[in-house]
Structure 1
Amino acid sequence: MASFEPVTSVVRALTVLRIVNDLDFASIKQIHKLSKLHRSTVLRMLETLMHEGYVTRDEQSGMYRPTGKTLLLSRGFDEKRQLSQLASPTMLAFRERIGWPSDLAILDGHEMMIVETSREYNIMAINHQAGVRAPLLLTSLGRAYLAFCTPAKQEKLLATLAASSRSVNAAARNDPAGVQKMLEDVRQKGYAIPDPDFNSSSSSGSGLITGFSVPVFCGGEVFASLSTSFLISAMSLEKGVETLLPALKETADTLSELISKNYG
């Protein structure tokens, strides 16, 4: 949940930019109709976007169109899409091998973000689609990444989490020693499991699904984390680790090699 109410002018400017981008050539009348904004507001947003270089006006037709600068806004998305396309075949092969799906997530800000998943649209897809964010301290994806960070990076991330007021980061504020113990356990075992309470919450599938994660490395440093998930009714977490961990680690090693050679 956002800490503040959305800034109305920013929302309006983004709405106008999206419409111009969708239409390629757009008139004030078209933008007004699609955005439901007053014409004077549309004009003010367009002039602001022109000032910042994202929109230009054709002098002959009076129509507005996006500039090449808008491509800069998709740079991060394109990088993530490249990673998704790179990882997808390996993750699908893993699913065919073990019969359960996997998720690949990278650090985005101070959370993990799923960039690729081999889940089909069913109960296993609950809250695990590409683009979904996962808390660092409560999910196996977050824990696997955080545990294998360099000490300096881990310290910086934990300090940021401790300064946050979000409930998902409470352990960093209230029990830093417990967090360090948990991370050391992850490093020793080589894999991470989710927080039991968080995993049984409605936001994570109402306790129907469990799983675990391992780190994915690039250039000797942790780059992402890879998880596999399965129905608790099919097997316990302990049995899942015993059965699936070797294959998950092997897949993570394959992804590490692919990413090191081809990504970026």
Structure 2
Amino acid sequence: MDNELIRAVVRALSVLRLMNTAQRWTIHELHGQTQLPKSTLFRVLATLQHEGYVKVDPARGQYTLNAKVRELSAGYSEQTRVVTAGAPIALRVTREIKWPLAIGVRDGEVMVVAHSTMPYSPMAVHSTTIGHRLSLTESAIGQAYLAHCSVAERNSMLDLFELSLGVRSETGMQEIRGKLSQVRHDGYAVRRPGQHNDSATLAVPIFHQGEAIAALGMTIFGRLMSRRLVEQFVPILKVTAHEIAVAVFDDPEPHA
């Protein structure tokens, strides 16, 4: 029974993939391409029609995909592509430099660590940070993203933060805008340790078409953060971020 259910799913997916290559199909055409029995095709199409993924023109005997098929790709976003393509690249670089890397993506008003190589780093300060929610304005990954995303997106986020800070927020917002301006000028962000034993993070944006769509961060022992370390690792992080962008989008933009 289980095997039959799996075969039914495979057949339905193969029909959907085939139908995506042309606008209209007859049973005869689908039969010729899939080699499935016409009786099976009728059942597959009837099921897909019932679920809203396929519609039929009875007068012409033609089947077409319905708009609902777009829902099948809704969860596979640009951010998902960055994480999928970036994970093996981040792992390779971690094995080279030893320090753990993380890919952060925006989720509403925060950044979320969508991938982390901490489990593979001998220098990890935590077992993993996957799923950690980071401030857009206080974390290095958040600042690297917010300083380099589109102007419209950045202004929208800052408007939200200003509302949350209250009426006496002018000084605080000036500090945030000034910090983001500096990060934009430098091309990277640094989260320095609050205490001697805290960790520190160095982060750069991952660009597509001149705007950040994610951020790449490297976490180290806080007491090691220095200008020399920044100068050593920022170029490596920028090259890695560019490599991720190329893997996702074949993006020709320079990484520097």
By how many angstroms is 1:84 displaced? 2.8
Q: Does 1:182 align with 2:179?
A: yes
Q: Distance in 2 between matches of 1:222 and 1:155?
A: 14
Q: 1:78 to 1:260 in 2, by over 3 A?
A: closer
Task: State the match for 1:137 in structure 2.
Answer: 137
What is the distance in 2 between the residues matched to 1:220 and 1:139?
A: 22
RMSD: 3.4
**Percent of aligned positions that are identical:** 25
Distance 2:168 2:239 in 1: 31
Q: Secondary structure at the match of 1:164?
A: helix
Distance 1:221 1:80, change over 3 A: closer
Amino acid at match of 1:188: H
Partner of 1:25: none
1:201-233 CA distance string (max 9 Å, x none): 7xxxx8431121000012332100101111135
If the length of structure 2 is used for normalisation, what is the TM-score? 0.61
In the alignment, which residue of structure 1 is the partner of 2:202?
212
2:219 matches 1:246: no
TM alignment of 1:37-186, pairs within 5 A: 76=75, 82-120=81-119, 124=124, 126=126, 128-164=128-164, 174-186=171-183
Residue 117 of structure 2 contacts residue 128 of structure 2 at CA under 8 Å; is this kept in 1?
no
Q: Which 4+ runs in 1 deviate beyond 4 A?
A: 72-75, 77-82, 170-174
> Which of 1 and 2 has greater Rg?
2
Match for 2:194: what amino acid? S
By how many angstroms is 1:117 displaced?
0.9
Shift of 1:125: 5.1
- Looking at structure 2, the residues matched to 259 and 80 of structure 1 have their Cα atoms a distance apart, in angstroms, of 10
CA distance in structure 1 between the aligned counterparts of 2:153 and 2:77, rounded to whole angstroms: 25
Instruction: Output the TM-score relative to the length of structure 1.
Output: 0.59
Which whole-Å CA distance do the structure 2 matches of 1:261 and 1:181 have between them?
33
- 1:134/1:244 Cα in 2 relative to 1: closer, same or farther (>3 Å)? same
For structure 2, the 5+ residue unaligned runs are: 1-50, 52-67, 252-256
Aligned length: 183
SS in 2 for 1:157: helix
